[in-house]
């Protein structure tokens, strides 16, 4: 049985159903990331687990115990807030020790626990400062320290890195990952940043308008998105969505794209029988469209298509190219040293092994 279980959870605010029949399971030591656009209900779900918001129906079970009716402080769950929510009037030491103090832990014991946590987070030299005297990254560490010191059954993180600058964010991300690794803590983590989701999670839940779109490992979510929404949301730049139509060329069914300018093989991810004339959407991530020098030699199905270059965006390691063909634009990822300039005609290689196919009306991926 799972360590953390959310069963048929629903939440209504007024007539508005903000969470619709949520079911999630997480093993002990798992790292669950809730991801989705703002307003999708991910923070609400986190607050519900924390006990900061009453449920309309459903159950939350931790380690076999139903915790629905427990006060937040009695759930043995710690939370790191987006704004860190450090008590401005207390020193770092007092901030970290506050929860222990509220539980009536002896002063000496408290000091010991605080010191241990501070050591782990390398904030020992900051213990006497107040939050206003700390940098963003330091505050973040203190907020984590406040959660860690309690040694809770479950950690909740509410977009903890969103207030940090890009470099620090990457650093802290790595730190959270190693912390998870070292402590084997069970974590639920909310973010709208899909890179965080990909790097940190053992399990990702994608939410949209209060409903779960897909649950899976980062690889599953990335490579086999359940629908157009997930496919579009995860990954940056976003997956290319090309309108296509099933055609039959000498008895072999293929997909014609770019208004018939190109015809490619049906990806191997699809096993359904696709009848001729059916409209589909072919999804292919930018790394599936490359220059000819970057073609995966193991690929089974590739297609070479010429298109007009519109925009070139070097990132240093690679170059993203936006190109247009028959009024449809797509993004490709080519080697950094390829010479390519706007307005040129360039030959792109489409790796159809990485492609997925969606039904345009339901948006579901075709299996």
Partner 1 sequence: MSAPSDTVSAGSARTTRLVIYTLLLVLAAIYLLPLYVMLTTSFKSLAEIRGGDMLALPRDPSLDSWFKAWGEACIGVTCEGIKGYFWNSIKMVVPAVLISTVLGALNGYVLTKWRFPGHKLVFGLMLFACFIPFQAVLIPMARVLGIFGMANTTSGLVFVHVVYGLGFTTLFFRNYYEAFPDELIKAAMMDGAGFFKIFWRILLPSSGPIIVVTVIYQFTNIWNDFLFGVSFSSGAESPMTVALNNLVSSSTGVKEYNVDMAAAVFAALPTLFVYIVAGRYFVRGLMAGAVKG
Partner 2 sequence: MTTIEPVPYVTEQRSRRSYKDRLGTLLPKIVLAPSFAITLVFVYGFILWTVYLSFTRSRILPIYELVGFDAYYNLWSQPSWYMAIKNLAIFGVLYISFCIVIGLTIAILMDQRIRAEGVLRPIFLYPMALSFVVTGTAWKWFLNPGLGLEKTMHNLGWESFKFDWLINTDMAIYTIVIAGVWQASGFIMAMFLAGLRGIDGEIIKAAQIDGAPTFAIYRRIIIPMLRPVFLSAIIVLAHMAIKSYDLVIALTGGGPGNATELPSTFMYSYTFTRSQMAVGSASAVMMLMGITAIIVPYLYSELREKRS
- In the complex, the smallest distance separating the C-beta of residue 218 from partner 2, rounded to whole angstroms, is 25
Q: Binding string, 25-64, against partner 2, x = CB under 8 A?
A: ------------------xx--x---xxxxx---------
Nearer to partner 1, 57 or 89 (CB): 89
Nearer to partner 1, 99 or 340 (CB): 99
| Contact between 77 and partner 1 per CB under 8 A | yes
* Binder among 1, 15, 38, 102 for partner 1 (CB under 8 A): 102
Judged by DSSP in three states, 87 sits in coil
Choose among 233, 231, 236, 201: nearest CA to 218: 201
The dihedral through the CA atoms of 126, 127, 132, 135 has a sign that is positive
Beta pairing class for 289-290 and 279-284: unpaired
Burial tier of 345 (Cβ tally within 10 Å: 0-12, 13-18, 19+): exposed
- Partner whose footprint covers residue 277, from partner 1, partner 2, none (CB < 5 to 8 Å by kind): none
The dihedral through the CA atoms of 267, 272, 273, 278 has a sign that is negative
241 near 281, Cβ under 8 Å? yes
- Partner whose footprint covers residue 213, from partner 2, partner 1, none (CB < 5 to 8 Å by kind): none
- Partner whose footprint covers residue 50, from partner 1, partner 2, none (CB < 5 to 8 Å by kind): partner 1
Q: Binding string, 65-104, against partner 2, x = CB under 8 A?
A: ---xx-xx---------xx---------------------
- Partner whose footprint covers residue 169, from partner 1, partner 2, none (CB < 5 to 8 Å by kind): none
| Contact between 81 and partner 1 per CB under 8 A | yes
| Contact between 8 and partner 2 per CB under 8 A | no
Burial tier of 90 (Cβ tally within 10 Å: 0-12, 13-18, 19+): middle
Nearer to partner 1, 52 or 252 (CB): 52
| Contact between 89 and partner 1 per CB under 8 A | yes
46 near 34, Cβ under 8 Å? yes
Length of the chain: 367
Which element (helix H / strand E) includes 195? Answer: helix 194-200
Choose among 299, 254, 281: nearest CA to 361: 281
| Contact between 314 and partner 2 per CB under 8 A | no
Phi, psi of 137 (to 5 degrees): -65, -35
- In the complex, the smallest distance separating the C-beta of residue 231 from partner 2, rounded to whole angstroms, is 26
| Contact between 160 and partner 1 per CB under 8 A | no
Taking residue 73's Cβ as centre, other Cβ atoms within 10 Å add up to 12
- Partner whose footprint covers residue 68, from partner 1, partner 2, none (CB < 5 to 8 Å by kind): partner 2
In the complex, which residues of this chain contact partner 2 (CB under 8 A)?
43-44, 47, 51-55, 68-69, 71-72, 82-83
**For binding to partner 1 (CB under 8 A), which residues are involved?**
47, 50-52, 71-74, 77-79, 81-83, 85-90, 98-99, 102-103, 146, 150
């Amino acid at each position: 049985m799972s360590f953390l279980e959310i069963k048929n959870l629903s939440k209504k605010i007024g007539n508005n159903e903000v969470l619709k029949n949520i079911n999630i399971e997480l093993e002990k030591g798992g790292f669950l990331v809730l991801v989705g656009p703002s307003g999708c209900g991910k923070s609400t779900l986190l607050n519900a687990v924390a006990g900061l918001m009453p449920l309309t129906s459903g159950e939350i079970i931790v380690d076999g115990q139903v915790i629905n009716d427990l006060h937040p402080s009695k759930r043995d769950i710690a939370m790191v807030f987006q704004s860190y929510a450090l008590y401005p009037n207390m020193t770092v030491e007092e901030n970290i020790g506050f929860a222990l103090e509220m539980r009536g832990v002896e002063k000496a014991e408290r000091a010991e626990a605080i010191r241990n946590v501070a050591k782990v987070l390398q904030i020992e030299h900051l213990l006497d400062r107040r939050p206003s005297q700390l940098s963003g990254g330091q505050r973040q560490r203190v907020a984590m320290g406040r959660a860690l010191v309690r040694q809770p059954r479950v950690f909740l993180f509410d977009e903890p890195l969103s207030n940090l600058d890009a470099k620090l964010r990457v650093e802290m991300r790595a730190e959270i990952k190693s912390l998870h690794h070292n402590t084997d803590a069970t974590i639920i983590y909310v973010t709208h940043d899909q890179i965080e989701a990909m790097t940190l999670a053992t399990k990702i839940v994608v939410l949209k308008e209060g409903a779960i779109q897909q649950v899976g490992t980062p690889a599953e979510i990335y490579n086999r998105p359940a629908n157009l929404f997930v496919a579009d949301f995860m990954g940056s730049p976003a997956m290319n969505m090309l309108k296509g139509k099933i055609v039959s060329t000498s008895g072999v069914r293929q997909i014609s794209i770019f208004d018939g300018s190109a015809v490619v093989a049906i990806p191997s991810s699809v096993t359904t029988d696709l009848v001729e004339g059916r409209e589909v959407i072919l999804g292919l991530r930018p790394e599936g469209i490359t220059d000819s020098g970057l073609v995966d030699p193991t690929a089974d199905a590739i297609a070479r298509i010429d298109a007009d270059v519109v925009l070139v965006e070097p990132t240093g390691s690679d170059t993203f190219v936006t190109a247009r063909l028959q009024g449809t634009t797509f993004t490709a990822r080519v080697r950094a040293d390829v010479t390519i300039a706007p307005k040129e005609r360039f030959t792109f290689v489409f790796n159809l092994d990485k492609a997925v196919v969606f039904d345009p009306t339901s948006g579901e991926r075709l299996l």
